[in-house]
Structure 1
Amino acid sequence: MIKVIKAEDRYTAHHEWLTARFSFSFAEYYDPSNLNFGVHRVLNDDIIAPGTGFGMHPHRDMEIVTYVIEGALEHKDSMGNVGVVRAGEIQTMTAGTGVYHSEYNHSQDEEVHSLQLWFLPDQKGLTPGYAQKQFSKGDQRNALLKVVAPDGADGALPIHSDVTIYFSDLDAGQGVTHRQAAGRKMHLFMIAGELTLNGEQQMKTGDAARITDVEEISVRALESGAEFMLIDLV
């Protein structure tokens, strides 16, 4: 089964400093029928105004992945990590027994556009952890590049959840396929551009597909710069 959620059907929260589009029930948006997709609990598509952001706040027993699409996100946390996640970089954080962190737009002039994903961990009470990496755009071109995986397999960033995240950037007419074990799920999110999924579903920027009971998918770009994230999960 392939269920496509159109970009415009997501809940949108408008604040003076933030525009946030929620794929799952979050904050003031509560929908008991849309709490998660397998172990995937949060997918927030955030645009943060210059010089603003999320002040220091706590997390616990959650695996958090952040990807910066445009701009730069300034990060600080109670583990002592201080830095900037720039466009194209990915950050993972294990909240475990508890961690505080803040996220601010590093620029005083330009917006930052980022995705933040939360996943339920394999076990509670893990030691908090942090990692950050820039992946080559060239390695994503017309291919599926593994960027997050359990225990950091194959050079990916680590995550303590049965989740593997791939990124891809396709030229017009190019495609990729992904096959997974029976009983698993796939979640595909369009970062930019347009493509077709299994030759039937047409998807554009901000659209997502929740895929169950389908062991193989085929994705083909309708235009150059079709960028998407594919999550293989339980």
Structure 2
Amino acid sequence: MQTLLHTADSRGHASHGWLNSYHTFSFAGYNDPQRLHFGVLRVLNDDTVAGGMGFGTHPHDNMEIISIPLSGTLEHKDSAGNHGIIQSGDVQVMSAGGGIAHSEKNHSKSEEVKFLQIWLFPNKRNVPSRYDQQTFRAEDRHNQFQQILSPNPDDAGVWIHQDAWFHFADFDANFSADYQVKRPGNGVYVFVLEGDATVAGQTLHRRDGFGVWDTESFTIKADSNTRLLLMDVPMSL
């Protein structure tokens, strides 16, 4: 088993007034050659956007983009005519494929929106762009792994063009469970949304990230009431 620790306070940070963003991996003005990606996981941004503000229309291509609101309401529009409103409990995906332009803005004029912006390299290039979103029940992740994303349109959660699986987990203090890696050659990046946990023997705290690979499974124990996001991704680009 190999592991990699990224503590919350080691992340890149950018504050633009309307946007407060923490970057786990190199992004925009934050450039660390040791933190370019974890396998196909290229971007993990922890963003807070002020009321009425957001990212104006901008282009993407050949990237799988996942948005996960943690609080508040996010509004999406794109050049394919898609328009969506997402909030805590929702997961949105956009396959940029051969090219698409989109905007993401705070739907509220007064309240902040906090969300995770995640990019994965796809396993197919120049596919038709697509958009989807789903809502997930909090009770379905209580002391269990709730699948929210997979490579299979017929499986639970939204799907993307990559052999990746995402799970939420809300664990009570002292609850433990073994996570089974979904595919040989994949690794898992565990991001602690709230609380404290011990993952594969490593103690983690709020907003710490921890990569685990070269193993078929590992143990997660909640040291307090804990909410986790697990990103099970190929380690080879």
Normalised by the shorter chain, which TM-score bucket? over 0.9
Q: Which residue of 2 aligns with 1:55?
A: 56
Q: TM-score, normalised by structure 2?
A: 0.95
**Secondary structure at the counterpart of residue 8 of structure 1:** helix
Cα distance, 1:219–1:153 mapped onto 2, change above 3 Å: farther
Q: Which residue of 1 aligns with 2:168?
A: 167
RMSD of equivalent CA atoms = 1.1
Distance 1:87 1:51 in 2: 18
**Identity, % of aligned positions:** 38
1:121 is the counterpart of 2:132: no
Q: Which residue of 1 aligns with 2:138?
A: 137
Per the TM alignment, residue 182 of structure 1 is displaced from its structure 2 partner at its CA by 4.0
Provide runs of 4+ in structure 1 moved above 3 Å. Answer: none
Per the TM alignment, residue 223 of structure 1 is displaced from its structure 2 partner at its CA by 1.6
Distance 1:206 1:47 in 2: 14
Per the TM alignment, residue 173 of structure 1 is displaced from its structure 2 partner at its CA by 1.4
Q: Is the 8 A contact 1:144 1:176 kept in 2?
A: no
Pairs within 5 Å for 1:19-168 = 19-168=20-169
Distance 1:36 1:107 in 2: 32
Per the TM alignment, residue 127 of structure 1 is displaced from its structure 2 partner at its CA by 0.2
Distance 1:51 1:176 in 2: 41
Superimposed CA distance per residue, residues 89-138 of structure 1 (whole angstroms, 9 cap, x where no aligned partner): 10011000111110111112211110011011111110000000111111
Superimposed CA distance per residue, residues 133-156 of structure 1 (whole angstroms, 9 cap, x where no aligned partner): 111111110000111000234221
**Secondary structure at the counterpart of residue 155 of structure 1:** coil
Per the TM alignment, residue 10 of structure 1 is displaced from its structure 2 partner at its CA by 0.2
Q: Is the 8 A contact 1:50 1:105 kept in 2?
A: yes
1:203 is the counterpart of 2:194: no
Q: 2:136 is matched by which residue type in structure 1?
A: F
Unaligned runs of 5+ in 2: none
Aligned counterpart for 1:190 among listed residues 172, 192, 196: 192
Superimposed CA distance per residue, residues 16-37 of structure 1 (whole angstroms, 9 cap, x where no aligned partner): 1111111111111122222111
Distance 1:20 1:106 in 2: 18
Unaligned runs of 5+ in 1: none
Distance 1:84 1:175 in 2: 35
1:213 is the counterpart of 2:214: yes
Q: TM-score, normalised by structure 1?
A: 0.96
Q: 1:158 is matched by which residue type in structure 2?
A: W
Q: 1:183 is matched by which residue type in structure 2?
A: G
Number of residues of Structure 1 aligned to a counterpart in Structure 2: 232
Per the TM alignment, residue 184 of structure 1 is displaced from its structure 2 partner at its CA by 2.0
Distance 2:179 2:173 in 1: 19
Per the TM alignment, residue 162 of structure 1 is displaced from its structure 2 partner at its CA by 1.2
